Structure 1
């Protein structure tokens, strides 16, 4: 196996994979350098490209002395020194310079293979991405097949550039980058583009080319990470661009538990390593939102907290769900929270009826200064009424997408799903009229929004997932539903609790699993909601249920309300989605119940009940 890195030329020694015969022929190189000082080119030939490159950069070559440092932008390998030096002479000629100009014009246009730049307002996020080309040689003559190999590399790069161009377009164009397989018409190549969704704004794209030459099987693979600035902004700057690091196989939580006296953690959001923690307590005089700085995940630091006014000199009794949004154009950050005044009626308990109030379900908090958060708006959901425990009117779930806030409630006498416009003035959410809501007659326990669709996890026994078309907020319609059945395809009376959307796949976590036939986790194709593609029973304590899911790059991060198995990672990348296997190797036991979980760039954050409201899970080289 030969590793070639276009644009990022570290000039590492060539290595061969076990099972392949090493190339014993001495190679001679014709190369082109570009001076970073005067931007001019230099063409030469050598037997040892690494040594020659170092000599140029160290000013040891008279013809280039004083022009360094240099960047290697092109080279060719030949088995004959004479051929290499003849080629050098040609590249220095008029026709050779024109050839080189055309070749470099094509290759140098492949910007982004070594660096992914996301520039948003005052923040410049640089993601170093190495594009690796793997060329598998079946013992062929390098001289004979060089042209074929270069053609294949060019074709693979070209296809990847087409995908990259889409990533710079609209969100819809970015979302259209999906896995494909094709045979090049009239040619010898079979192409396979594999796409793994890291998040709503980032994808890992791998282009595989396979061909037969003289009865020898060969292949080339190019991989890169593509991001969409438009999708990043639509998420409220709340979107991971880094794939999970391999050391997450050994998840570790080594910091001291964060304990907030007498309250219970309910909800969590993370924005660039700043944690926003929503809590609930029967004492309305306690703070409801707590903020922590987790730039050092081993020692998170408390920044500030705030108690939310519910109105009429009363305080909010709990933030049940929240989302943090960075309004970079305004230089502001806000938390939008779904909350309740009165005792939160959890569907897993039998709390007293009539305590939740039908007002103040949507709260807006300015968190631009994490040390001094303050409430800027308290909004009641129109048309919502009722009393617990049949029709509790408090806020249950919330999501942000592209300038709009989506709020869900418990089943109420009225609409449970509402849309607010917060694009220009987040301190003044505007309900999109009576048609900006819809009644589904179920508890809405989780909301995810992607493009023109909203995905709801509900308490229905036959519609645990409801998909809404929200392309026209004034005319919301139900686009489809999914019934989460038992393993024997019989009806199940479980509630949908948590959702994650990755590509066209819906990942659903449910609660109240009470038998071996019950499933905790479902994989569903949104284009065919009739049956699950795969499902899994995690063998938790009966009635525990899943409290949070996040799927990234083929891995599902799952938190549960089972103290014996509070967190785990599952591989959901198999081409057969019914094959779901545990990926992590180190069990974590908090001895508390996670209420929810979020993932941000390789780190997991869980919010838990009393005695350990916050836990941060990080990669570790070994089990701890």
Structure 2
């Protein structure tokens, strides 16, 4: 009987063992469920916090954009990039890119760190300057979309080999002036329609040509009028009605108290014309009001310009650009290649000479200022190479506030560069679009150079474009560059070739 197996007892012990295992398994399942619930709960909390943080960042980025938009309505030119600032866990940055005279891009970025993750949100918008566009008479370009890594020739046009002195591209029309050399040529003002769709079709179509007699040196188009600087000793300012393509005889003006002046450069801004001449000597008994090289006319009524004032610069006025309350002049003064003149009649500095106000910039060396451009808070000054060897810098980027605060004529330099142009060559014009500067050169080996505005280095290894003619001026319309030239094909149209740059 001792060997008899008690199955009943064994079954009882076995049941107890299974019960214990079941309890352990139940606890394991319960723990897993609790862990899963906890993970879901904590995950939802993380998502909620991320969502709240992201929404707050978007709100801060939107606030930066809205402030920039509001500021642009008050003072468009003063809206510039704001350095990074820290607020709580957020770093805020507002980047402003000046696309054209009347168009900026505002991009706000707010970044933050959560754990090991670096996060950010970015908003972007465009700011337009409608009053500025009106002040320029509608001559406000749309900007570029091409990257311009490989400029090339698109169209060229001859006006008879007489040489072109300047041009202005406005609303799909090109206006060109000539000094009519040799004299046998009898036209000095040309108007073309242009239509470009490279590579399929591109053309310049002559609309009108006029003879204003003495020859013309510069043109600026505003609304339905072309204002031209003439070689005439008795009519340096002349006005052309573009609706009828005729000169307005009653609008011709001789610069007051001058006998030998010739109109050299002209600029329209806010119903005023600014006109400059070469240096006019003033021997005794000449008075300080005589032989001034810089004049202002009110052209609120284009057919009846009214002289407003002048400044005796005592040097060549080689180029003019006007923005806001200031006129920027590129001159032949070795101590003041850039002169800045206050043109606000309400200012105590109104039409004061830069030698008295200290407004301007003295570039190193003795090379003359030859061209000027202003965009945003920067001034771009080009020079002529007067010295041999030609080693001085040809292009300068200056801070606008510094050159017009009167503190020092050596303040304000942001960057400058020797472009390598030959002796007696010069920068004939500058146009800035976004991060690129398009520089016209009167140089044997290159006619147009595309530069990065932050470094003034060529934008690519193909950034220079050469043509046989010597350039006299440059302008842009959309993605197209226009140059006026001394001879042969007096008009060149340049575009960004679709093929990649191959050095």
| TM-score in terms of structure 2 length | 0.81
Q: For residue 286 of structure 2, what is the aligned residue in structure 1?
A: none
Q: Provide the C-alpha distance between the structure 1 equivalents of 2:393 and 2:128, rounded to a whole number of angstroms.
A: 34
Q: CA deviation at 1:141?
A: 6.4
Written as runs of structure 1 = structure 2, the 5 A alignment for 1:28-427 is: 144-167=49-72, 169-170=73-74, 173-183=75-85, 185=87, 187-242=88-143, 244-255=144-155, 257-282=156-181, 283=183, 286-296=186-196, 298-308=202-212, 315-316=213-214, 318-326=215-223, 333-341=224-232, 358-369=233-244, 372-376=245-249, 377-386=251-260, 393-412=261-280, 413=282, 414-423=291-300, 425-427=301-303
- Residues 1:304 and 1:609: Cα distance change in structure 2 (over 3 Å): same
Aligned structure 1 segments of 4 or more residues deviating by more than 4 angstroms: 140-144
- Residues 1:473 and 1:281: Cα distance change in structure 2 (over 3 Å): farther
Q: For residue 21 of structure 2, what is the aligned residue in structure 1?
A: none
Q: CA deviation at 1:493?
A: 2.0
Q: Provide the C-alpha distance between the structure 2 equivalents of 1:463 and 1:548, rounded to a whole number of angstroms.
A: 19
Written as runs of structure 1 = structure 2, the 5 A alignment for 1:424-439 is: 425-432=301-308, 436-439=309-312
- Residues 1:415 and 1:175: Cα distance change in structure 2 (over 3 Å): same
Of the three residues 379, 391, 396, the one matched with 1:517 is 391
Q: For residue 53 of structure 1, what is the aligned residue in structure 2?
A: none
- In structure 1, runs of 5+ residues without a counterpart are 1-79, 85-139, 309-314, 327-332, 342-357, 387-392, 486-491, 574-578
Q: For residue 607 of structure 1, what is the aligned residue in structure 2?
A: 484
Q: Deviations over 1:80-112 (max 9, x none)?
A: 9xx99xxxxxxxxxxxxxxxxxxxxxxxxxxxx
Does 1 or 2 have the higher relative contact order (CA < 8 Å, sep 6+)?
A: 2
- In structure 2, runs of 5+ residues without a counterpart are 1-39, 283-290, 404-409
| TM-score in terms of structure 1 length | 0.66
Q: For residue 13 of structure 2, what is the aligned residue in structure 1?
A: none
Q: For residue 561 of structure 1, what is the aligned residue in structure 2?
A: 442
Q: Provide the C-alpha distance between the structure 1 equivalents of 2:346 and 2:274, rounded to a whole number of angstroms.
A: 10
Q: Provide the C-alpha distance between the structure 1 equivalents of 2:437 and 2:185, rounded to a whole number of angstroms.
A: 38
Contact 2:78–2:377 (CA under 8 A) maintained in structure 1: no
Q: For residue 581 of structure 1, what is the aligned residue in structure 2?
A: 457
Q: CA deviation at 1:217?
A: 2.1
Aligned length in residues: 430
Q: Provide the C-alpha distance between the structure 2 equivalents of 1:506 and 1:230, rounded to a whole number of angstroms.
A: 21
Q: For residue 98 of structure 1, what is the aligned residue in structure 2?
A: none
- The alignment partner of 1:164 has SS state of helix
- Residues 1:584 and 1:362: Cα distance change in structure 2 (over 3 Å): farther
- The alignment partner of 2:279 has SS state of coil
- The alignment partner of 2:429 has SS state of strand
Q: For residue 335 of structure 2, what is the aligned residue in structure 1?
A: 462
Q: Provide the C-alpha distance between the structure 2 equivalents of 1:224 and 1:193, rounded to a whole number of angstroms.
A: 11
RMSD: 2.3
Q: For residue 481 of structure 1, what is the aligned residue in structure 2?
A: 360
Contact 1:251–1:584 (CA under 8 A) maintained in structure 2: no
- Residues 1:215 and 1:561: Cα distance change in structure 2 (over 3 Å): same
Q: Provide the C-alpha distance between the structure 1 equivalents of 2:371 and 2:483, rounded to a whole number of angstroms.
A: 14
Q: For residue 401 of structure 2, what is the aligned residue in structure 1?
A: 527
- The alignment partner of 2:57 has SS state of helix
Please tell me whether Structure 1 or Structure 2 has the larger radius of gyration of its CA atoms.
Answer: 2
Q: Deviations over 1:50-77 (max 9, x none)?
A: xxxxxxxxxxxxxxxxxxxxxxxxxxxx
Q: Deviations over 1:466-500 (max 9, x none)?
A: 00011018941234121111xxxxxx221111011
Q: Deviations over 1:411-445 (max 9, x none)?
A: 1131111110012x11111001xxx1110100001
Contact 2:78–2:376 (CA under 8 A) maintained in structure 1: no
Of the three residues 538, 541, 553, the one matched with 2:419 is 538
Q: Provide the C-alpha distance between the structure 1 equivalents of 2:185 and 2:442, rounded to a whole number of angstroms.
A: 27
Contact 1:247–1:621 (CA under 8 A) maintained in structure 2: no
Contact 1:453–1:470 (CA under 8 A) maintained in structure 2: yes
- Residues 1:562 and 1:405: Cα distance change in structure 2 (over 3 Å): same
